[in-house]
Amino acid sequence: MSGSKALGGARRRRTRCRRCQACMRTECGECHFCKDMKKFGGPGRMKQSCLLRQCTAPVLPHTAVCFSCGEAGKEDTVDTEEEKFSLSLMECTICNEIIHPSCLKMGKAEGIINDEIPNCWECPKCHKEGKTSKDGGDGSGKRRMDNGEVGRWKLTDDPPPTKKKPPSSLEDGGRQDGHKRKKEKELPQDSGPKKKMKGAHEKRLKKKQKPNVSETAESNGPNSSTGGGQGSGGGSNSTQSPTSTASQDQRSHHREKLERFKRMCQLLERVRESSSSSSSSSESDSESDSDSPSGSEGRRGSEPSSPVPVTYSNSARERNRERDRERDRRLAELGFSASEDSEGSVKEEEEEAVEEQVVGDKPRRRGEGPPRGRKGLTTDGNDEESGERSRKSTPLPPPSPLSSTQPPPSSGHGPSPGSEGFSGKRSNGSETRNGRTRAGVRDRETQEKENANNSSGGSVANHRHGTGKGNKGNKIRSNKQTGSQPTSRNSSNSSASTATTTSNGGGGAGSNFSGGMSALAASPRSQPSRMAPRSQMMKRSPPAVPSPPRPVQMERHLVRPPPACPEPHCLPLDSGSSHVMPRDVWLRVFQHLSQRELCVCMRVCRTWSRWCCDKRLWTQIDLSRQRSITPPMLSGIIRRQPVSLNLGYTNISKKQLMWLINRLQGLLELNVSGCPWSSVSALCQAACPCLRLLDLSRVEDMKDSHLRELLAPPADTRTANGESRGGRFQNVTELRLAGLDLTDVMSRLLVRYLPHLTKLDLSQCGNITDQTIHTLTSPMSPLKDSLTHLNLAGCVKVTEQCLPLLRRCASLQSADLRSCTLLTPDACQLLSFPCPDDRVLLKNS
């Protein structure tokens, strides 16, 4: 549905980085945008940020996710630059698609990285297809808007707006100008706005239908970013070419100028403030004329135009070049387009694995509530959104943008090579603009609303707890406004990003990537040759303003506690009266709905939204096989505090899992089957004393040593008690280890650390032998009395000898010995012991 559109393709507005100097400074109060602000006594109509506060490195909103895998940027979880790059989200200036380079399916692809804007590039796909951002040549990374325009945040190589006056003076100029206007409008109060609105709307609509200019441009666009924009009919680079598309170009040009001007202001400011700009990677604006699209050099020239010092020195330039070269080389080596193929196959395998999964995650036994369809947890609107997304993608293993329901990106960009039609794009863009109509957005809104609902009280479980430093990310704004130097911004940022790990004390345990990501990361491509025109490829000199590390989404996602106020007991109707059915009755109805349906209900009205969030309706949450676990999903889980959580076969990361587990202290059942050990290892640092069921079936790469790590009590505990008492999961009564590559060593761990185990699933563990059964049932083993169910199906090394051993289990009710090929056919069965007295090994029954 439309929901998918919320993903890639659709343009995403960027937001300030909050870290650059511009962001950190306070409003000047003097520029005309400031003067327009209400707080400075203005009418507040312009709604623009202070000229001196124009962010120099606008970032993707933290809600941005990869078009392909649906996950957020994860660059902060790896160390090497290459990895960081391939795991960060990159937004294409041409197709607007946001994707992890590592998720790209294109082989040998080459992308052009925009050094000036964080997470910005011309994706390999577009580049390969010869699409170029109009400004192609300059490589400044201007992003093409839906209508072919260039976003304001794109830097340009235009000659510096020298003509413009510095901020102060400018404001004056503009002021007067605007003044007139304002007067006109202010006097007739409404006339102005009204008139405009009407017109605007109509026109906007029209515009949206307009055929893509970009298309045209693209078609003739000479391609490579280096190529001078001139030739292309499209919006040549900043210099507006007098072509038919002029109007748009002009607009962009215009905007670019504005941009440049703003930047100039900043630069000036900065120069003033800090004598030496460390990041002086720029060449003067005047110099970096986009018009000189000559090869990489030309492009380079433009780069510097970025937010940096107006004055540059040759040495600085040299440094730049060197850096560029260096980066080129590195990236070329990396062949940054992560290996698509391998990824695909991995995913497929995963899917297959899912199919054969024996220990189903489906067996939802926490009966308590009426049966409900699970799948697709949807928490708030958000979850719904993500759920929707994953649902969609799930059926199609290789998450190709094409497959996804996203028209725009797919057409323009999908992995499918020859796609050209940008037609979809435009329409898409429009939709984006009308965002509100998009399901995804709606969902978000819903959630937001709900959150808002519940907020107030205090954002409790927000991940920042844990560290002492994370106090107050919220005050930033006020700080800013009061003029206090928000020096804390940086720290608050970083603290936020570390909070998660800190809280689990696992900060250092660098979270590895799991699932599909691992495949990517693993791809060892290192053929420099891949990148043809290296010079223009992957240029990635350190951004003038170091792009602020994107905080992991989830960390910034607030998880608010349920509202303090009691839930309404009745449903208010428009008429003013209340619906005859009180809350309790409604809840009974809701109990019969699937989680998905509940999410739909949550969008009906606020009251229903709250009711549907009732924990009783969400005792079990099943996210199994959701291709990606998104921050909203995580917070949705936390809010619902399920008793049973199924994360089987998801790509949840270690960090996410840690974050989650540490906030689900009441969790009784956890299923992480099919997840990579690199993620599951998060449990080694978690504490879930209540856990009763742990499903580790088919955890990828899980070994005996891992199990030990998992079950053994924390080191400090051990030393404290001298001897390890119970392990971390000592209260677990049901453990599923199906399909793992474990040996008999494992049995000793179980005996030692899981004394209360009643149900043990060792099916498909091909390496275990009778020794395991012996250990489990030995006189010294507490399990010999506790075990009631033992699954040894498919344990091909188990022999007849285990049968007498099993008899030693006093409480054993069933033993599954099917597919144990060393047993006689007769013995290969599901042995059951209905009542204690009959507990005899029924080899033949």
Kindly write down the DSSP assignment for every residue of 304-358, as one continuous string. GGTTS-S---HHHHHHHHHHHHHHHHHHHHHT-S--HHHHHHHHHHHHHHHHH-S
The residues in 245-304 that bind DNA, with binding defined as CB under 7 A, are 250-251, 253-255, 257-258
Residue 469 touches DNA, criterion: CB under 7 A: no
What whole-number distance in Å separates Cα of residue 359 and Cα of residue 649?
Answer: 12
Identify the residue among 74, 127, 142, 152 touching DNA (CB under 7 A). 152
Measured from the CB atom, is 207 or 756 closer to DNA?
207
Structure tokens at 202: 């109509």
Region from 426-434, 570-578, 648-656, 801-809 binding DNA, contact rule CB under 7 A: 426-434
Identify the residue among 414, 435, 631, 632 touching DNA (CB under 7 A). 435
Residue 195 touches DNA, criterion: CB under 7 A: yes
The residues in 1-60 that bind DNA, with binding defined as CB under 7 A, are 11-16, 27, 32, 36-39, 43, 45-50, 53-55, 58
What whole-number distance in Å separates Cα of residue 666 and Cα of residue 625?
Answer: 23
| Residues facing residue 122 across a β-bridge | 112
Instruction: Work out the angle between the directed axes of helices 595-602 and 380-393 (0-180°, nearest 10).
Output: 130
Residue 365 touches DNA, criterion: CB under 7 A: no
User: If 0-12 CB within 10 Å is exposed, 13-18 middle and 19+ buried, where does residue 524 land?
Assistant: exposed
Query: For 715-740, what is the HEC assignment?
Result: HHHHHHHCCCCCCCCCCCCEEECCCC
Region from 113-121, 447-455, 569-577, 663-671 binding DNA, contact rule CB under 7 A: 447-455
Residue 670 touches DNA, criterion: CB under 7 A: no
Residue 465 touches DNA, criterion: CB under 7 A: no
Measured from the CB atom, is 432 or 641 closer to DNA?
432
Identify the residue among 192, 231, 295, 421 touching DNA (CB under 7 A). 192
Residue 481 touches DNA, criterion: CB under 7 A: yes
112-113: strand order across its sheet: 98-99, 90-92, 120-122, 112-113
CA-closest candidate to residue 497, choices 536, 464, 543, 539: 464
Region from 124-132, 188-196, 521-529, 723-731 binding DNA, contact rule CB under 7 A: 188-196
The least CB distance from residue 809 to DNA, in Å, is: 55
Q: Which helix (H) or strand (E) holds 790?
A: strand 789-791
Residue 432 touches DNA, criterion: CB under 7 A: yes
The least CB distance from residue 652 to DNA, in Å, is: 22
Residue 178 touches DNA, criterion: CB under 7 A: yes
Which x/- pattern over 212-251 shows residues binding DNA (rule: CB under 7 A)?
----------------------------x---------xx
**Count of residues in contact with DNA, rule CB under 7 A:** 83
Query: Beta strands 120-122 and 620-622: pairing type?
Result: unpaired
Region from 148-156, 511-519, 646-654, 789-797 binding DNA, contact rule CB under 7 A: 148-156
Query: Which stretches within 672-828 are classed as H helix?
Result: 677-680, 704-711, 715-721, 745-753, 770-777, 783-786, 802-806
Q: Are 59 and 548 in contact (CB under 8 A)?
A: yes
The least CB distance from residue 323 to DNA, in Å, is: 27
In this structure, which amino acid lies at residue 257? K
What whole-number distance in Å separates Cα of residue 481 and Cα of residue 437?
Answer: 33
CA-closest candidate to residue 431, choices 207, 235, 98, 247: 207
| Contacts with 275 (C-beta within 8 Å, 6 or more apart), sequence order | none
Residue 448 touches DNA, criterion: CB under 7 A: yes
| Contacts with 476 (C-beta within 8 Å, 6 or more apart), sequence order | 18, 486, 488, 489, 492
Identify the residue among 365, 436, 588, 725 touching DNA (CB under 7 A). 436
Region from 177-185, 507-515, 518-526, 589-597 binding DNA, contact rule CB under 7 A: 177-185
| Contacts with 158 (C-beta within 8 Å, 6 or more apart), sequence order | 238, 239, 253, 256, 257, 260, 285, 289, 290, 305
Which x/- pattern over 699-718 shows residues binding DNA (rule: CB under 7 A)?
--------------------
Count of C-beta atoms within a 10 Å radius of residue 396: 14
The residues in 560-599 that bind DNA, with binding defined as CB under 7 A, are none
Residue 133 touches DNA, criterion: CB under 7 A: no
What whole-number distance in Å separates Cα of residue 542 and Cα of residue 534?
Answer: 17
The least CB distance from residue 523 to DNA, in Å, is: 30
Region from 61-69, 284-292, 515-523, 729-737 binding DNA, contact rule CB under 7 A: 61-69
Kindly write down the DSSP assignment for every residue of 88-139, as one continuous string. S-EEETTT--EE-GGG---TT---EE-SSSTTEEE-HHHHHTT---TTGGG-
The residues in 748-807 that bind DNA, with binding defined as CB under 7 A, are none
Q: Are 268 and 166 in contact (CB under 8 A)?
A: yes
Residue 199 touches DNA, criterion: CB under 7 A: yes
The least CB distance from residue 363 to DNA, in Å, is: 38
Identify the residue among 118, 309, 429, 713 touching DNA (CB under 7 A). 429
| Contacts with 313 (C-beta within 8 Å, 6 or more apart), sequence order | 280
Residue 207 touches DNA, criterion: CB under 7 A: yes
Residue 474 touches DNA, criterion: CB under 7 A: yes
What whole-number distance in Å separates Cα of residue 567 and Cα of residue 610?
Answer: 7
Residue 181 touches DNA, criterion: CB under 7 A: yes
Measured from the CB atom, is 193 or 582 closer to DNA?
193
Measured from the CB atom, is 177 or 838 closer to DNA?
177
CA-closest candidate to residue 519, choices 359, 391, 701: 701
Measured from the CB atom, is 608 or 677 closer to DNA?
608
Identify the residue among 396, 476, 593, 687 touching DNA (CB under 7 A). 476
What whole-number distance in Å separates Cα of residue 580 and Cα of residue 428?
Answer: 43
Identify the residue among 28, 72, 109, 170 touching DNA (CB under 7 A). 170
Region from 473-481, 532-540, 656-664, 772-780 binding DNA, contact rule CB under 7 A: 473-481
Identify the residue among 56, 427, 451, 641 touching DNA (CB under 7 A). 451
Measured from the CB atom, is 14 or 706 closer to DNA?
14
Structure tokens at 657: 């899992």
Residue 200 touches DNA, criterion: CB under 7 A: yes
The residues in 596-615 that bind DNA, with binding defined as CB under 7 A, are none
The least CB distance from residue 251 to DNA, in Å, is: 6
User: If 0-12 CB within 10 Å is exposed, 13-18 middle and 19+ buried, where does residue 809 land?
Assistant: buried
Structure tokens at 131: 């699409």
Identify the residue among 7, 89, 113, 145 touching DNA (CB under 7 A). 145
Measured from the CB atom, is 136 or 727 closer to DNA?
136
CA-closest candidate to residue 656, choices 496, 559, 513: 513
Measured from the CB atom, is 35 or 413 closer to DNA?
35
The residues in 528-567 that bind DNA, with binding defined as CB under 7 A, are 556
Residue 10 C-alpha from the chain's centroid: 16
Residue 147 touches DNA, criterion: CB under 7 A: yes
Region from 324-332, 338-346, 442-450, 638-646 binding DNA, contact rule CB under 7 A: 442-450
Give how far Cα 579 sits from Cα of 258, 607, 612, Å. 55, 11, 16
The least CB distance from residue 331 to DNA, in Å, is: 26
Measured from the CB atom, is 324 or 555 closer to DNA?
555
Cα within 13 Å of Cα(116), Cβ side: 29
The least CB distance from residue 478 to DNA, in Å, is: 8
The least CB distance from residue 116 to DNA, in Å, is: 14
The residues in 73-102 that bind DNA, with binding defined as CB under 7 A, are none
